[in-house]
Amino acid sequence: MKMAVPVRRAVERMRAYHPPLEGRTNKLRLDFNENPIGCSPAVRRALAKLSSASISSYPEQETVRRRIARHFGVQPQELLLTNGTDEALSLVVNTFVESGDRVLLVEPTYAMYRFYSELADAKVASARYDAEMRFPWDEVLTVLKTAPRVFFLPNPNSPTGNLLAPEELRRILRASPRTMAVIDEAYFEFSGLTVIPWIRRYRNLIVTRTFSKTAGLAGLRLGCIFVHRELAAIMRKAQSPYPVNVAALAAAEAAIGDRQFIATTVREVRRGRQELERGLARLCVRCFPSAGNFVLVHFGARAKKVVAALERKGILLRDRSSDFGGEGYVRITLGTLAQTKRLLRELEKAL
Ligand SMILES: Cc1ncc(COP(=O)(O)O)c(C=O)c1O
């Protein structure tokens, strides 16, 4: 199309990102690492209680921010609330990345790191997991020597599921003090490993968390940035005044109050993960160890057929083959143990 007004070159160059976003409501959604159990009943009660006055006012977040900060063991000045992790990633790029700067990724990984980097006209340096899903240490350390501006690193990573240990994260932070390392802990509740307390020690560390996974609030969009208080004040300057809506704020407060719901989700996911691993071994299908609420499975040439067969049975899986050069990898999210058992029964038939 001939444009009346020129589009930015960075936008022109980008490939469109097309996740399958429609028609998922009544299916067993094992495709997006949401919480297939749903959310806490306390969240639904809090949403039902929202007053007309609060819905019709611009959101005031200070009280909730203080409570969330206390819940995570940080000072309020060390926490920013964001419209999902996605806004957190965009805020990192908007604060630190100039056009032409380099951003380091280890791929395959969460697609939005590349998305926001390319949108900002950054140069993406991409290291890759090998066929055994091993972290490419040599490549990463070589790139870090050249001080890229930002390194986006989910821990655990999606879709591979692997988790770096604290000493490995320390190695990364020390390798390049001039690189902002963004450790994305979206799956923290399943891995149990966090570096939030390190934000006081490292000025090149940002930790992100989300309410989309364990808390089951993906539809409300709420994320967190944990960072040294001086950096938090600077990043706040680059954020719009009302990033988080009143429903998300009310829901978050209720969600942190219901520890039982989180504990149940984590228990079900861990049991389901074992069950799925055992089931896949029985079917002679390879999967990779995962510290998240999902497992990466190698179906090879059968991947497309398996995903389509399960979809016909109302079960959605995420075919990630295109991230692995067409190699037949599928990512499966875990819900309750009963949901995982249903999945396995259908998998058995499909294979
Ligand atoms: C590593 C990682 N970070 C962040 C997100 C998304 O978080 P949010 O819903 O808070 O934007 C995902 C979602 O799949 C993810 O895998």
Interacting residues of 56 by C-beta distance below 8 A, sequence separation 6+: none
Pocket test for ligand 1, best of 212, 220, 224, 295 (most atoms within 8 A of CB): 212
**Which ligand 1 atom is at minimum distance from the Cα of 210?**
10
Q: Do the Cβ atoms of 334 and 269 come closer than 8 Å?
A: yes
Q: What proportions of the chain, in percent to the nearest 5, are helix, strand and coil? A: 45, 15, 40
Pairing of strands 28-29, 315-316: parallel
Query: Does residue 190 lie in a domain region?
Result: yes
Interacting residues of 68 by C-beta distance below 8 A, sequence separation 6+: 79, 81, 224, 252, 253, 256
| pLDDT tens-digit series, residues 112-146 | 999 999 999 999 999 999 999 999 999 999 999 99
Query: Does residue 273 lie in a domain region?
Result: yes
CA of 112 to the centre of ligand 1 (A): 8
- CA-proximal residue: ligand 1, atom 7 (nearest): 85
For 319: left if phi > 0, alpha if psi spans -120 to 50, otherwise beta; the answer is: beta
> For residues 86 and 82, what is the distance between their CA atoms, to the nearest angstrom?
8
Interacting residues of 88 by C-beta distance below 8 A, sequence separation 6+: 80, 82, 208, 223, 224, 225
CA of 349 to the centre of ligand 1 (A): 31
| pLDDT tens-digit series, residues 273-312 | 999 999 999 999 999 999 999 999 999 999 999 999 999 9
Same domain (yes/no): 109, 246? yes
Pocket test for ligand 1, best of 112, 185, 333 (most atoms within 8 A of CB): 112
Query: Does residue 3 lie in a domain region?
Result: no
Q: Give the range of the structural domain holding residue 60, as residue numbers without chain letter.
A: 41-257
> Across all residues in the chain, what is the average pLDDT?
96
| pLDDT tens-digit series, residues 305-335 | 999 999 999 999 999 999 998 889 999 999 9
Is residue 15 over pLDDT 90?
no
Considering 199, 226, 257, which residue would you say is the last residue of a domain?
A: 257
Is residue 245 very low, low, confident or very high in pLDDT (cuts 50, 70, 90)?
very high
**Which ligand 1 atom is at minimum distance from the Cα of 212?**
9
Say which CATH number the domain at 297 has.
3.90.1150.10
Same domain (yes/no): 268, 239? no
> For residues 252 and 57, what is the distance between their CA atoms, to the nearest angstrom?
18
pLDDT in the model for residue 20 = 64
Say which CATH number the domain at 249 has.
3.40.640.10
Interacting residues of 151 by C-beta distance below 8 A, sequence separation 6+: 103, 104, 105, 144, 172, 176, 179, 180, 181, 182
Edge-to-edge strand list for the sheet holding 205-210? 79-82, 223-227, 205-210, 180-184, 150-154, 102-107, 123-128
Considering 208, 223, 257, which residue would you say is the last residue of a domain?
A: 257
Same domain (yes/no): 76, 140? yes
CA of 282 to the centre of ligand 1 (A): 31
Same domain (yes/no): 56, 161? yes
Pocket test for ligand 1, best of 87, 210, 323 (most atoms within 8 A of CB): 210
Pocket test for ligand 1, best of 92, 105, 110 (most atoms within 8 A of CB): 110
| pLDDT tens-digit series, residues 149-159 | 999 999 999 99
> For residues 151 and 165, what is the distance between their CA atoms, to the nearest angstrom?
17
Is residue 1 very low, low, confident or very high in pLDDT (cuts 50, 70, 90)?
confident
- The residues lining ligand 1, judged by C-beta closer than 6 Å to any ligand atom, are 33, 84-86, 110, 154, 158, 184, 186, 210, 212, 218, 223
Is residue 184 over pLDDT 90?
yes
CA of 85 to the centre of ligand 1 (A): 6
Is residue 89 over pLDDT 90?
yes
Same domain (yes/no): 299, 224? no
Asked whether the whole model's pTM tops 0.75, one would answer yes
CA of 86 to the centre of ligand 1 (A): 7
Is residue 18 over pLDDT 80?
no
| pLDDT tens-digit series, residues 90-117 | 999 999 999 999 999 999 999 999 999 9
Is residue 19 over pLDDT 80?
no
Query: Does residue 167 lie in a domain region?
Result: yes
Query: Does residue 201 lie in a domain region?
Result: yes
Number of domains in the chain: 2
Structural element, H or E, at residue 273: helix 259-282
**Alpha-carbon separation of residue 164 from 81, 175, 290, 323, 336 (angstroms):** 25, 15, 11, 21, 26
CA of 68 to the centre of ligand 1 (A): 19
What is the secondary structure of 287-302 as a DSSP string? E---SSSEEEEE-GGG
